[in-house]
Amino acid sequence: MMRRVLVTGGAGFIGSALVRHLIGEGTGRVVVLDKLTYAASPAALEAASRSPRYRFVRGDIGDRALVSRLLAEEAIDLVIHLAAETHVDRSIAGPAAFVETNIVGTFHLLEAALEHWQALEGEAKARFRFHHVSTDEVHGDLDFGDAPFDEGSGYDPSSPYSASKAASDHLVAAWGRTYGLPVLVTNCSNNYGPFQSPDKLIPRIIANALGGRELPVYGEGRNVRDWLYVEDHAAALALVATRAAPGARYAIGGRAERSNLTVVRGLCDLLDRLSPRADGRSYRRQVTFVADRPGHDLRYAIDPSRIERELGWLRVHDFESGLEACVRWYLANRDWMDRFVGAGYALEAAGDRLRGAA
């Protein structure tokens, strides 16, 4: 049956990839709710916006009246909740927005969804799902010899960002257990790919490299992340949202652990080949080590065995092919990236803001 989907944060990096995926596979009608903050990219929705099954609404998940109206008038039977403040550095410098959006906003969204679901009857009520999209950072960090996170991992957040996402995970689980709301939760590893805002590592390094600026790496660059191509994540989210049983939780990862320094050097090598410096030297010469950020988690890793086994999801992109596809996209879309650079957007040495905030 065709679904009627509300995607919160659908103009964001992961949200827009999910919207493009849903429209492309003909899942049903897709309504995007996004307040268009600094990280939003309406251009990422341009292709989807040409579909008659698409609608965009500018608004805040904390506006319960707006959310309730959308749920009713669109007869929504699937909410996929991605609206969130997501950048760790920003959460350290200014945590209030993270509490307001990720915790209070999720609460208001849950209340609106619960009221909508309780008013449904029969098959419509049985079909409804509330899918909350979260992060592996809620689990804290791992030592290099530790087993990866999975669905049974405990919570031990390190930053205001991860603490706010942990709180929202708990709210969603509680609304499922207390009120019976049919909820789903997924926790993903680091995403990368087209349309990512350049305060995140990979697009920032590409933008800085091409602009002749320093390539800032925290500490010694030893911190390890598990990298997941955003289109693979979108496919996983669609599977969970439409096929998983109420109450299910899935860990979604790319099986691609890399240190930050390895990622930066890999980007330099790709740029050396695809867009060489005018002086013929390697972009590696621009790498600069900066003071580590407070509470910097050492390692994240995810074991995605459950979603692979139960839902048949498998990543399409390994890290090397995904990283090259990512670099090629940014090189082919310099106009998109230049709008951030022109505004001086998050391209300063990574440690500067945090040294002032700490």
- Residue 341 has a pLDDT of 61
Is 300 known to be catalytic? no
- Token digits for 41? 């990219």
Phi and psi torsions of 354, nearest 5°: -70, -35
Query: Measured between alpha carbons, how far is 82 from 241 in angstroms, rounded to an integer?
Result: 13
- Residue 234 has a pLDDT of 98
- Residue 318 has a pLDDT of 95
- Residue 295 has a pLDDT of 77
Catalytic residue, from 137, 141, 169, 231: name it.
137
Q: Do residues 147 and 303 touch, judged by C-beta distance below 8 A? A: yes
The single-letter code of the amino acid at 82 is L
Is 161 known to be catalytic? yes
Residues paired with residue 229 on neighbouring β-strands, in sequence order: 192
Strand 28-34: give its sheet, edge to edge: 54-58, 28-34, 3-8, 78-81, 129-135, 183-188, 249-252
Q: Give the three-class secondary structure for 333.
A: coil
Cα dihedral sign, 115-122-168-81: negative
Is 220 known to be catalytic? no
Cα dihedral sign, 303-309-312-317: positive
Could you read off the pLDDT tens digit of each residue along the chain, which spans 358 residues?
Answer: 689 999 999 999 999 999 999 999 987 899 999 999 888 889 999 999 999 999 999 999 999 999 999 999 999 999 999 999 988 888 999 999 999 999 999 999 999 999 999 999 999 999 999 999 999 999 999 999 999 999 999 999 999 999 999 999 999 999 999 999 999 999 999 999 999 988 889 999 999 999 999 999 999 999 999 999 999 999 999 999 999 999 999 999 999 999 999 999 999 999 999 999 999 999 999 999 998 878 788 899 999 999 999 999 999 999 999 999 999 999 999 888 777 665 544 444 333 433 322 2
What letters, b where the CB count within 10 A reaches 16 and e where it falls short, cover 29-60?
bbbbbbbeeebbbeebbeebeebebbebbebb
- Residue 303 has a pLDDT of 98
Q: Do residues 237 and 18 touch, judged by C-beta distance below 8 A? A: yes
- Residue 292 has a pLDDT of 84
Query: Measured between alpha carbons, how far is 159 from 188 in angstroms, rounded to an integer?
Result: 17
Q: Do residues 39 and 16 touch, judged by C-beta distance below 8 A? A: no
Query: Measured between alpha carbons, how far is 184 from 212 in angstroms, rounded to an integer?
Result: 44
Catalytic residue, from 136, 231, 257, 297: name it.
136
- Residue 350 has a pLDDT of 37
Burial class (CB in 10 A: 0-12, 13-18, 19+), 126: exposed
- Residue 117 has a pLDDT of 98
What letters, b where the CB count within 10 A reaches 16 and e where it falls short, cover 205-234?
bbbbbbeebbbbbbbebbbbbbbbbbbbbb
C-alpha closest to that of 295 among 88, 48, 57, 14 = 88
- Residue 161 has a pLDDT of 94
What letter would DSSP give residue 149? B
What letter would DSSP give residue 101? I
Query: Measured between alpha carbons, how far is 154 from 136 in angstroms, rounded to an integer?
Result: 11
Question: Domains in the chain, start-ordered, CATH in brackets?
Answer: 3-196+227-256+296-317 (3.40.50.720)
- Residue 249 has a pLDDT of 98
Measured distance between the N- and C-terminal CA atoms of the chain, rounded to whole angstroms: 52
- Residue 349 has a pLDDT of 38
Query: Measured between alpha carbons, how far is 225 from 259 in angstroms, rounded to an integer?
Result: 6
- Residue 127 has a pLDDT of 96
Query: Measured between alpha carbons, how far is 17 from 187 in angstroms, rounded to an integer?
Result: 17
**Model pTM score:** 0.93
